[in-house]
Amino acid sequence: MSYLVGIDVGGTNTNAVLLKNDVVLATAKAATDHKHLHLGTMQAIASVLKFVP
């Protein structure tokens, strides 16, 4: 069972999407911290991973 997580780090928000077989299972948004980009990225990823069974 494979999943794909996509990330878009933008100027205001970091967006994440969780896909399985080209079907969107979940999306999430977190604030982008320009000094610590990993924080918003990890928060968004953690949010979508809650939807993995």
What is d(CA 7, CA 45) in angstroms, rounded to the nearest whole number? 8
pLDDT tens digits, 38-52 = 999 999 999 999 999
SS3 assignment, position 15: strand
Q: Tell me what pLDDT residue 53 has.
A: 83
Alpha helix (H) ranges present in 1-53? 37-49
pLDDT tens digits, 20-37 = 999 999 999 999 999 999
Quote the pTM value. 0.89
- What residue type is assigned to position 2 of the chain? S
Contacts of 12 (CB under 8 A, 6+ apart): 31, 32
What is d(CA 31, CA 2) in angstroms, rounded to the nearest whole number? 27
